[in-house]
Amino acid sequence: MFRPLSFYIGLRYTAAKRRNHFISFISLTSMLGLMLGVAVLIIVLSVMNGFDRELKQRILGMVPHATIQGASGPLEDWEEIDRRVQEHPRVLAAAPFIQGQGMVTGGGDVRGVMLSGIVPEQEATVSIIENHFIEGNLDELKPGEFGIIIGRLMANSLRLQVGDKLTVVLPEASVTPAGVLPRLKRFTVKGIFSVGAELDGNYALIHMDDAARLMRTGGRAEGVRLLVDDLFAAPRVVNQVAQDLGGRYYVSDWTRTHGNLFQAIRMEKTMIGLLLMFIVAVAAFNIVSTLVMVVTDKTADIAILRTMGATPGRIMRIFIIQGAVIGIFGTLMGTALGIFGALNISAFISWLEGLMGHQFLSADVYFISYLPSQLQWQDVAIISSAGMVMSLLATIYPAWRASRVEPAEALRYE
């Protein structure tokens, strides 16, 4: 007797068995459609978050967060700059480098390559490569031995193994008694890495002393690479560091070199989210047809309630509550199913691959060999809230129609 009348009747209408089984079927399909729409949206966005995370960890774990280079050539006092850079509170580590582009030849094939001259001891502090070696390690790079570390895709393409020789060709001419020839040098493969990204096919590491001799920098580093505490603060941090150093420097960060890739992923996630949200919207607005049929079926009951003193507002609340129950239950079940699916999709796909004997994501084609997933509670909250809001909006028109029922007209032929 203490329950609000609208709430009580709305729940009774939701739970009651209907004479018209088609209405019950439409109510069930509306709830199931909403549940599946919410679940699929959560799972798909979690998978896209997983791909975004893998790209950041693998690619941005290899390429510099930020770099400081001399404005007019190699750094004269790179040791001092390296020391001062590491004193900045937001710089976790720093390492000198010399970088250049060229070609590598071996096994009868040719590939373009980005050569990076490094100091092995310091490179391990700013890069994840140490954790992704198939053979060898950074310590194999010794000054004067002209050793090189290449990626797995490059090694497969050039048919190279550890201990084999390859030739590095630089796009700079050298004048010799035989004429003008491109600068080239034989290197020995000291290690092979695999980070599962495009860097496996076009990135190679050599010792910085060997790079200085090859690229004729006079033993000087081309720049200093920074590892910062917050990836997205890299542009601001590197500018602050350059200002603190004084002088003229050229600064760069990952948003200039790889920013377009992550912007594309973010835009793709947004567009797919909007498209899948339409599925949730269609399922939510199926509630409109359900409630319209319920109102038609309950016209006599509405008329009786009106003659007993129920106001149009109370009638509206009855059917809003009925539709809201369908929407809320569908959204909550979809949220639970989506969370469960997002947390287990990687294991399920692995099980399915083992069952079928087929790998969906081949490491030879894609940059990762499994389906990643990262559940973000912010996405879950937005999707669940959107599902509930759309469900509530879908109840307004049928409830308004119910409130407009005229008792005399509805009971005339009863």
pTM: 0.69
Alpha carbon distance, N-terminus to C-terminus of the chain? 30
Output the six-digit token pair for 250. 């050229």
- Buried/exposed code over 336-348 (b: 16+ C-beta within 10 A; e: otherwise): ebbbebbeebbee
Say what the pLDDT of residue 273 is. Answer: 80
According to DSSP, the residues that pair with 117 across neighbouring strands are 98, 206
Position 208 scores a pLDDT of: 92
pLDDT tens-place values along the chain, 414 residues long: 445 766 666 666 665 555 555 556 777 777 888 888 889 889 988 988 888 787 777 777 777 888 898 877 788 788 888 888 888 899 989 999 998 888 898 877 888 888 999 998 888 888 888 888 888 888 889 988 899 999 888 998 888 889 899 998 887 766 555 555 667 889 999 999 988 777 788 889 999 999 988 888 888 888 899 988 888 888 889 888 888 888 788 888 888 877 777 777 778 778 888 887 887 787 777 778 777 877 777 777 777 777 777 777 788 888 788 788 888 888 899 999 999 999 998 888 888 878 887 777 665 566 666 788 889 888 899 888 888 888 888 888 888 887 777 776 656 655
Are 50 and 368 a contacting pair, CB within 8 Å?
no
pLDDT for res 2: 42
d(CA 63, CA 123): 11
What are phi and psi for residue 270, nearest 5 degrees? -65, -45
249-253 and 165-176 beta bridge pairing = unpaired
Amino acid 266: pLDDT: 76
* Strand ranges, E, within 197-333: 203-207, 223-228, 249-253
CA distance 68 to 241: 9
For 135, the token pair is: 């053979």
Distance separating alpha carbons of residues 96 and 274, to the nearest angstrom: 44
Neighbours of 26 (CB within 10 A): 19
State how far the Cα of 197 lies from the Cα of 361, in Å rounded to an integer: 13
Pairing state between β 109-118 and 203-207: parallel
The answer for residues whose C-beta is within 8 angstroms of residue 274's C-beta and 6 or more apart is: none
